[in-house]
Each structure stands twice: as structure tokens, then as C-alpha cells.
Amino acid sequence: MTVKEALYTYVVRIADDSLILGQRLAEWCGHGPILEEDIALTNISLDLIGQATNLFQYAVTLEDNGRTEDQLAFLRVDREYSNLLLVEQPNKDFGYTIARQFYFDAFRKLFFEALTNSEDTQLAAIAEKSLKETKYHLKHSSEWIIRLGDGTEESHQRIQEAVNFHWRFTHELFFQNEVDKTLIELGIGLDLATLFDDWKNYVSNVLQQATLELPSHSFKLEGGRTGMHSEHLGYLLAEMQYMQRAFPNLTW
């Protein structure tokens, strides 16, 4: 694997996480529990899709075979997407959506913070830009974890269930393979293992404030990074890609 190939894969991973979670959050548009949350979730969705755009634009310059960022975003099949299983999980209810977002934001903030020191200047620039937005996202999801956990008996029980459910996907946040190894040696990529303690401390701390239990089960699922997805991704892509599949090269 050349450095360029590794970097391409790395950039697309980050982009796919942003794109797929952005699409999931966009499903809340018009369905938020209150108007302010409807707007908040779609704002976060917009930030994520914006990040994905920057990353896909960079990825196509690395690929350099004429493919555009839109083709990369909309015209791959499910096995070619490398997003985490976590981000493709259905919204289900507001609690599930917040729990998924909380685990992800806590990771993303640490990830982008560290990535601003990348030897790759474009990746560092995207991280610097995205970090500012991610801090707002993390504050939003953390505060909701606390409100719901420390809220009513019903909200406490339901957010605990959502936190427990998504726990099985958090292991994959720290997935690494030869792509990472190649880039870590060059100071381009991060050793994700170095983020784990800070991530777990942050998550534990917020859950404690929320009077929630840190999940203790060790059941883990992974596969998204290597294209082995849950059934949910296919349905998401069918909706997201519909216009481009039905009307190829359609533009607004």
C-alpha cells in the first residue's frame, strides 16, 4: 500500500462517518421533539455534511482519476463505504439519537484536536475547521445525556437503554489497521489508542453527572471500517442515493 492509497482510505473513512451520520440526523428534519431540537439536529447534520464535502474534495485529488466528490458520496455501493457501524444505526427515538451522537462527538473532538498536528497540511486544516463545530456538537449531546439521565424516571430508563445499546459499537471508534500504521509512522495519522483513556474518562464523567451507569457488557461489534455493514446502511443509501440513481448526473 502506497502512502497516497493509505491517505485516501483514511480521508474517506472520516468523510464517510460525517456523511452517514449527517444523513441520519437529516432524517429528523420536520420530526424533532421540539422545534429548537429539530433545528439543532439539522444544524449538526449540515456541519457534518459540510465536513464530508471538504474531505471528499480532498480525497478525489488524492485518487486523481476524474471521479468527483459527488460521485464518491453518492455512487458507491454499501461495501465501499467505510463508516463506523455506530453512525449508521437508526435514529429510533431522541434518546437513541443522542446516545449515538454523544459517543461519536466525544471521540471526534479528541480526534480532530490531535489531527490539527498532522504532518498533512490539508488534513490538519480540515481538522482545525471541523473542531470548532464539533465542540458545539459535543456540548449539545453531553447536556442532553445529563438532562435525560437526571430527568424523569422514564427519560432516565430510556437514555440508559440507548447508552447501553450503542456501547457495543464504541469499540470500533478505535479501529486501526495497516492504513493507520502507514500514516502514523509519517506523522500524518494518529494512534487512536492514545485517545482511548481521555474518551472513556469524558464519557464516564458525563454519564456519572447524568446519574447513568457506564455500560459494563463487553459485547462488541465492528466491521464498518472494512465495508461489512449492518443491514441499516443499505436502506439509508437507497434513500440518500435515490435521486442520483434515478436521474444520473442530476444537478440542482
Partner 1 sequence: MVTTELIWKLLDQVADPEIPVLTIADLGIVRTVEIIDNKCIVTITPTYSGCPAMHQIEEEILKALSPTITTEVKSTLSPAWTTDWMSEKGKEKLREYGIAPPENEVDKSVLFAKPTVVPCPKCNSKNTRMVSQFGSTACKAHYQCNQCLEPFDYFKCLR
Where along the sequence are the contacts to partner 1 (CB under 8 A)? 36-37, 39-40, 43-44, 46-51, 53-54, 121-122, 124-126, 128-130, 132-133, 135-136, 139-140, 142-143, 146, 206, 209
**Shortest distance, CB of residue 122 to partner 1, whole angstroms?**
8
Query: Distance between CA 155 and CA 119 in Å, rounded?
Result: 44
**Shortest distance, CB of residue 179 to partner 1, whole angstroms?**
23
124/221 with CB nearer partner 1: 124
Q: Can you say how many angstroms the Cα of residue 143 is from the centroid of all Cα atoms in its chain?
A: 19
Residue whose C-alpha is closest to residue 85's, from 228, 195, 214: 228
**Shortest distance, CB of residue 214 to partner 1, whole angstroms?**
17
132/181 with CB nearer partner 1: 132
Contacts by 228-231 with C-beta closer than 8 Å and gap 24+? Answer: 228/79, 229/78, 229/79, 229/81, 229/83, 229/85, 229/88, 230/85, 230/88, 230/89
147/181 with CB nearer partner 1: 147
**Shortest distance, CB of residue 236 to partner 1, whole angstroms?**
19
Query: Distance between CA 50 and CA 18 in Å, rounded?
Result: 8
116/230 with CB nearer partner 1: 116
